[in-house]
Amino acid sequence: MTTPAIELIGIDKRFGAVHANIDVNLTIAQGSIHGIIGENGAGKSTLMSILFGFYHADKGEIKVKGQPVRIKSSTDAISHGIGMVHQHFMLVEPFTVLENVILGAEGGALIGPALAKARASLKHLSDEYELDVDPDALIADLPVGLQQRVEILKALYKGAEVLILDEPTGVLTPAEADHLFRILKTLRDEGKTVILITHKLREIMAITDQVSVMRRGEVVANFATKDTNVEQLAEAMVGRRVLLRVDKTPAKPGDVLLDVRNVTWRDKNKVARVDNVSFTVRKGEIVGIAGVSGNGQSELLDVITGITKAASGEVFFKGEDVAAIDDAGELRRRGMAHVPEDRHHRGLITSFSAAESAILGYQYAPDLGKGFRLDRDAVIKRVRREMEEFDVRPPDPFLKSAKFSGGNQQKIILAREIGSNPDLLVIGQPTRGVDIGAIEFIHRRIIALRDAGKAILLVSVELDEIRSLSDRILVMFAGRVMGERGPDATEGDLGLLMAGVSKEAA
């Protein structure tokens, strides 16, 4: 038998009252892609952060290629050939690709030789693993798919034989995800070991050799991927049978609540990112907007929710021009709620407590205090109720928002916005980084809002989600609406529209 690449033996870790990892034993075979799945807060990222030296286990042992090692920092991990690509990239945006790759591995006071060596190494790595990135490009100018490749290049440049990826496709388009999978398979075929943390079971089935399931801090199951299926993995993750489809009755649309008329929005270079877009959303229906990320969906949501102004055209909510309501708080009071696509920059203040983040935008609600004075007890009572209802883990209103996993941060935002009982819910990427059990719950809540006569505008890069939830589907490409389809539209039909080709033209 080949010596395992990694062995974690009896790993235990607590954060105060939270027992994040409970006597975890895990073996990772060399030259394999090993998936680790589990609900948000199951302990996956904590376990891998221990392996990478970000956290120290309270007890337990780590072996690399059969040898016991002590990993006290990421530098120690790298010295043992372990690299990690985090869910939220750790890149310096004003720096070039080349400068980011050599950070921490400059090799001396003179930067010139290190840059020359790195440039040659990057070309070799890019050619070998299809990681094509311009070494002189600024990180700030790269789309997220290329930024992720830079993170992989960083790890490989520093000699990683074991590569940990935490929710790597959460910010990727389907095409970018497919390219990433080709890269990972090439790495495996070259003898590297890949550990993939994800909540997307189809990805697990498509790319991994082995999969381990974590639940509430423990490893509860290990499978050879070829011997399991999506239903078995979902049940192991959640501890119960999970409905993998959205169960809903036909919509009963009512009056128009949102009316978007010929909206165009231009960026600082006068390029139309939203180009003459018109549609309506009625009470009691879900209108989904599909499209590859970056085709104007984000900018359209900003115009609709009053964050930015359209260059031309109009948006009417309940018959009133949104542009004339120059206050996001007033839009909320009139019944428009917004779940932003970017939870870190728009949805939360990560240095705030969960309780503070959970009332952002609603802090002047009459049941939370009077004027500028918040009733702390009322705030904590509301947040505890929402945390219980949305299964936020840990259910601690006083914990900093930054300390929650990405999926639990998303639940805090969803609880805040859905809990406001809006007339119109504008929601971007509702289940990004969320586990399958929570996805089922979130989908049920969205359908319940629709059935209660609310209007929902949904943007998602997940075609399955769009097709499952939407009563009508709009497809955007290059800022334009390419067409409208019903929920029975095929992936092929939607895919053509997403590529800018109408079915009729094809």
Comparison of pLDDT for 179 and 194, the residue scoring more: 194
pLDDT in tens, 55-95: 999 999 999 999 999 999 999 999 999 999 887 778 888 99
Structure confidence at residue 151 (pLDDT): 86
pLDDT in tens, 300-319: 999 999 999 999 999 999 99
What SS3 class is residue 286? strand
- The CATH number of domain 244-335+422-506 is 3.40.50.300: yes
CA nearest to 300, candidates 347, 265, 344, 250:
265
Structure confidence at residue 506 (pLDDT): 41
pLDDT band (50, 70, 90) for residue 291: confident
Strand duo 210-215 + 33-38: pairing: parallel
Structure tokens that stand for 298 in this block: 């984000």
What is the arithmetic mean of pLDDT over 376-391?
93
pLDDT in tens, 19-49: 999 999 999 999 999 999 988 778 998 999 9
Structure tokens that stand for 450 in this block: 């629709």
Answer for the pair 441, 422: CB distance below 8 angstroms, yes or no.
no
pLDDT band (50, 70, 90) for residue 505: very low
pLDDT in tens, 323-349: 988 777 889 999 999 999 888 888 899
Strand duo 210-215 + 272-282: pairing: unpaired
Peptide bond into 397 cis (omega under 30): no
Domain boundaries, the chain: 6-238, 244-335+422-506, 348-417
Residues contacting residue 120 through CB under 8 Å, at least 6 positions apart: none
pLDDT band (50, 70, 90) for residue 106: low
**Two domains, one topology: 6-238 and 244-335+422-506:** yes
- The CATH number of domain 6-238 is 3.40.50.300: yes
Among 271-285, 368-382, 488-502, which range has the highest average pLDDT? 271-285
Answer for the pair 259, 280: CB distance below 8 angstroms, yes or no.
yes
- CA dist 393 and 214 (Å) reads 14
Place of tokens 């929005």: 265
DSSP codes, 74-99: HHHHHHTTEEEE-SS----TTSBHHH
Comparison of pLDDT for 174 and 115, the residue scoring more: 115
Structure confidence at residue 90 (pLDDT): 83
Question: Of all residues in the chain, what percent carry a pLDDT higher than 70?
Answer: 95
pLDDT in tens, 390-440: 888 889 999 999 988 777 898 999 999 998 999 999 999 898 767 777 788
What is the arithmetic mean of pLDDT over 247-275?
94
Structure confidence at residue 110 (pLDDT): 60
Residue 253 confidence (pLDDT) above 80: yes
Q: Is the dihedral of CA 26, 27, 30, 32 positive or negative?
A: negative
Q: Which helix (H) or strand (E) holds 176?
A: helix 174-189
Place of tokens 């921490």: 104
499 phi and psi angles, rounded to 5 deg: -90, 5
Q: Which helix (H) or strand (E) holds 492?
A: helix 491-498
What does the DSSP 8-state code read for residue 400? B
Write the burial class of residue 38 (CB in 10 Å: 0-12 exposed, 13-18 middle, 19+ buried). buried
DSSP codes, 324-390: G---HHHHHHTTEEEE-S-IIIII--TTSBHHHHTTTT-TT-GGGEETTEE-HHHHHHHHHHHHHHT
What is the maximum span of the chain, computed from C-alpha positions, in angstroms?
A: 71
Answer for the pair 190, 130: CB distance below 8 angstroms, yes or no.
no
Comparison of pLDDT for 34 and 169, the residue scoring more: 34
Structure tokens that stand for 205 in this block: 């089935």
